[in-house]
């Protein structure tokens, strides 16, 4: 868990605190912390209180957005830091179109994973 720079922070349209994520997923906060620890979610410290937060786009209807965990795994395997992953996931790509995070939310994860795999080549 890192603190992100202003440029990357500005790419992410909305953030959720860990208790907010827990409420949306219907689980305890300790489970959300475990998901972060296991690398299934990315959480970074933000704001003057340095509160751990997760991008709101990572959470769908009572679950983590389909394809996110696999995409995070691919990026981690390519030695991306949490900040680099957020930058990649939230940087607009005209060929998608939109951002990879947006494509995952719209159930276009196959193309996102293909692009993540291509980064390793």
pLDDT number for residue 11 = 93
In the structure, what pLDDT confidence band is assigned to residue 35 with cuts at 50, 70 and 90? Answer: very high
The 10s digit of each residue's pLDDT in 75-112 is: 999 999 999 999 999 999 888 889 999 999 999 999 99
- The pTM of the full predicted model, rounded to 2 decimals, is 0.91
Question: 15-45 in b/e burial notation, b at 16+ Cβ within 10 A?
Answer: bbbbebbbebbeeeeeebbebbeeebbbbbe
pLDDT number for residue 1 = 54
């Amino acid at each position: 868990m890192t603190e992100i720079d202003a440029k990357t922070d500005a790419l992410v349209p909305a953030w959720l605190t860990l208790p907010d994520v827990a409420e949306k997923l219907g689980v305890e906060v300790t489970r959300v912390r475990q998901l972060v620890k296991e690398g299934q979610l990315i959480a970074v410290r933000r704001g003057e209180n340095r509160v751990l937060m997760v991008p709101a786009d990572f959470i769908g209807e009572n679950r983590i957005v389909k394809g996110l965990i696999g995409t995070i795994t691919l990026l981690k395997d390519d030695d991306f830091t949490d900040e680099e992953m957020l930058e990649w996931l939230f940087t607009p790509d005209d060929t998608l179109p939109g951002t990879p995070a947006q494509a995952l939310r719209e159930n276009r994860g196959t193309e996102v994973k293909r692009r993540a795999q291509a980064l390793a080549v």
